[in-house]
Every structure is written in C-alpha cells, then in structure tokens.
Amino acid sequence: MLDNIDELVYIIPALIISFTVHEWAHAFVSYKLGDRTAKSDGRLSLNPLKHIDFLGFFSLIVFGFGWAKPVNINPDNYKNPIRDTSLVAAFGPISNFLMGLLGVLLCALCIRINASIYFIKFFSIFISYNVVLGVFNLFPIPPLDGSKILAGVLPINIYNKYLSLERFGFIIIFVLLILYPEVFDIIIDPVLNFYNTCLLKLI
C-alpha cells in the first residue's frame, strides 16, 4: 500500500468508514438478538474511535494486513446461540457489501453530474476496500467472520475443534498472504468485477 502513498488521503477515510460500519454491524445485530454486551462496551456507535485498533490500522496501511477491535459478544444471551452467532458474524461482511453498493451508486452519480474527480476517485477506492474487506472476512480461517459463520452448519463437536485453530489464525493468514496471495485474488477479483460492471451499467 505504500506504493499508493499519494492516495492515502482517499484510502484512510475509506478504511475508517469501512471498518467502523463493519464492527458496528456486528454490535447492532448482536444487540437486536438479545445480547447487551456490545452496547455495554460502547460499540453501538458509529464513532470510529470505538472500533479502530490503531496498531491494526497502521499495520493495514503499511503492510496491507490489519484488524479492528473485535466486538465482544455473549452467545448465552441469544435464543439460538449457534444460529445467532453465525448471523452476528455474517452481518459484518454483509455491511461491507452494502457499503460497496452504496459506493457504486454515489460514484455513478458523481460521474453523471461531472463532479470533481476527487469524489469519483474516493468512491472508487471506497468500493474496492469494502469489497476486499467483505470477501476477506468470509474466508473460513479463525478468527475471521467466515469461521464463525461455519458454526451454523458444522456439528458442534467438529466446530469446537475447528475453533481451536484460532490461536494460529493470524499466522495462517499471514503465510497465505505472503506465499499464496493469488488464493485471495481468485475469489476477490470476480466479486470486484461484479461491482465494477454494476458501476459501468449505471454511468
């Protein structure tokens, strides 16, 4: 990402918004499903300071890999702990895909009305980072959201063993990013192309 240092003025706010909405979505859905833990922690807020982990954010800007503050939940407060935990996890990436669609609409509008190139550039980056964040978090590697979504489909005994990999999760992700980045590209690129196609059809 340092190759794009001149674009940091667009990248930083795009990432802040994307991370904030992603974590807020986890907190909001958890609260609606009966768990007040996130509310008690002050996470039912769109204030970025409640959600941004500054070390994780710095790492993302410099190395292209980072994290936000995880939203704490207590599945014991849910009516259906396994199903509801999956729903809470799913709504993080879903929020990013929706934000990406909002970015498509706003970018198309800016192009149609001949708005400043700066707005068009921002929304283009905003779309890309939301798509990447949404797809990346769906990878079934603990502690990413995708691993928690699996709770709804795996037998509980297998799932508990699977979650034991969480202490190695960041190592696995880091190794994949360094040695096999094409694994992520193969999945992310078609989704990003879909969003770009939608944008082209609107302008």
Phi-psi group of 34: left, alpha or beta (phi > 0 → left; psi -120 to 50 → alpha; rest → beta): left
Residue 152 CA to residue 147 CA, distance in Å, equals 10
Q: Is 23 a catalytic residue?
A: yes
Of 7, 23, 166, 182, which one is the catalytic site residue? 23
Helices (H), 33-80: 37-40, 54-63
Residue 93 CA to residue 107 CA, distance in Å, equals 21
Q: How far is CA 155 from CA 7, 84, 127, 139, in A?
A: 45, 15, 36, 19
Catalytic positions, written as ranges: 23
